[in-house]
Chains A and B, each alone.
Chain A
Amino acid sequence: MKCRKCGNAAVLELRRHNAAFCGPDFLEFFRNQVREAIRKYRMFTPDEPVLVAVSGGKDSLALWDVLIDDGYRTTGLYLDLGIFDYSVESRGKCEAFAAARGVPLLVRRVADEVGAPVPVIKSVTRRPPCSGCGLSKRYLMNRAALDEGMPVVATGHNLDDEAATLFGSVMHWQTDALPRQSPALASTHPKLVRRVKPLYRLSERETAAYAFLRKIDYIVDECPFAKGATSIAHKETLNRMEDASPGAKHNFLFGFLEKARPAFERAEAVVLNECTRCGQVTTGTLCAFCKLADQVKRSL
């Protein structure tokens, strides 16, 4: 198999693009996809400081790598979930990455903020583990950005993550979730920073290949609590569809973003308030994060 650009031996075939690339040309393809995402959704400008949420996995470290190379002013944010050896190892990967590139990394411990680490949150709530974890991460990312005076948080969500989330929302017709699914969510309140997903055009196989070719030392093992997660079942379903029809995931997500999302966006009208306890944004009076922290405290 030959590289589409230079004709040398290819290292990766991208069936959905009907193309294959050698290492250097794939890396350039990857960076161009990130640049196109940032341009198309006006995610941030070269002058804006960007808080990059990093987990130690391939996606977030690949994203940080591209942004650093393109000259953006980035700070990493690692949220220590307290998931045993998995968190120890993933934190180490982030710290080593930041040190090697001379970029700042903030670390926040979920246990300090919620009152207990993710394994305890999992055991004292009836939520699936990824639910309490995701809620805590979204809240703490926003608060860290506000504390640091940064206008935007970038996460490593890729095309597969976005397609799986969309699939889940459509399967349950969660019409309130559909308008919130976007590669870029604007700040709609002074206490809500912009959230962007510059990897939404790239599959997780592509981000894994980028991380491998750039020799990024990332955590390959998956989170021990991810086993059995609904999003993984959705990804497996989508991957079978992709195998039968290359481009299926891309068409599903991009078709939604271009054709369907605007209709749901018009239908949504949400009033945002400030949480009576912590001051962060909520649609109610007490935010979901404070309710979760209460639940954890009651059970300890």
Chain B
Amino acid sequence: MKVVLRNPRREVEVAGNRRVKDVLRDLEILPETVLVIRGDDLITADQHVGDADTIELRPVMSGGV
């Protein structure tokens, strides 16, 4: 499956057919730091993603104070 990452924007291929939380763990991304977007929807970490899916992991951190 394809995962779209930001800052900078890039795409990586990872194994699918598992839960979102397993993909996040593989990529060492904390669930608190991203929105998980599939198509036009947000999905929760317990949802299953297939091999043909594309998800965007959109960072939520803004900063510099």
The answer to whether A and B come from one shared complex is yes
Q: Are A222 and B63 in contact (CB under 8 A)?
A: yes
A-B pairs with beta carbons under 8 Å apart, 22 shown: A11-B42, A13-B46, A23-B42, A58-B62, A59-B62, A133-B64, A161-B62, A161-B63, A164-B63, A165-B65, A204-B62, A205-B33, A205-B60, A212-B37, A220-B58, A222-B59, A222-B62, A223-B63, A226-B62, A242-B32, A243-B30, A243-B32
B41 interface hit (Cβ, 8 Å): yes
In this complex, the member of A11, A59, A134, A240 whose beta carbon has the largest number of chain B beta carbons within 10 angstroms is: A11
Q: A221-B7, A239-B30, A240-B30 are in contact. Are A161 and B42 (CB under 8 A)?
A: no
In this complex, the member of B41, B46, B59, B65 whose beta carbon has the largest number of chain A beta carbons within 10 angstroms is: B65
**CB-defined contacts of B41 to chain A, threshold 8 Å:** 11
B35 interface hit (Cβ, 8 Å): yes
Q: Are B60 and A226 in contact (CB under 8 A)?
A: no
**How far in angstroms is the closest Cβ of chain B from A54?**
13
* A residues contacting the other copy or chain, number (CB 8 A): 41
**How far in angstroms is the closest Cβ of chain A from B3?**
16
Q: Which of A160-197 contact B (CB under 8 A)?
A: 160-161, 164-165
**How far in angstroms is the closest Cβ of chain A from B26?**
15
Please choose the segment from A104-112, A229-237, A270-278, A279-287 that sits at the chain B interface, where 4 or more of its residues have CB less than 8 A away: A229-237
A interface SS class = helix
* B residues contacting the other copy or chain, number (CB 8 A): 24
**CB-defined contacts of B37 to chain A, threshold 8 Å:** 212
Q: Are B44 and A204 in contact (CB under 8 A)?
A: no
State the CA gap A299–B7 with chains docked (Å). Answer: 33
State the CA gap A16–B11 with chains docked (Å). Answer: 30
**CB-defined contacts of A232 to chain B, threshold 8 Å:** 61, 63-64
A10 interface hit (Cβ, 8 Å): yes
**How far in angstroms is the closest Cβ of chain A from B62?**
5
State the CA gap A165–B64 with chains docked (Å). Answer: 10
Q: Are B63 and A129 in contact (CB under 8 A)?
A: no
**CB-defined contacts of B59 to chain A, threshold 8 Å:** 220, 222
Q: Are B61 and A11 in contact (CB under 8 A)?
A: no
B20-38, CB under 8 A of A: which get 1 and which 0?
0000000000111111010
A68 interface hit (Cβ, 8 Å): no
* Partner of B65 from A10, A204, A229, A240 at Cβ < 8 Å: A229
**CB-defined contacts of A213 to chain B, threshold 8 Å:** 42
* Closest residue on chain B to residue A60 by CB atoms: B62
B10 interface hit (Cβ, 8 Å): no
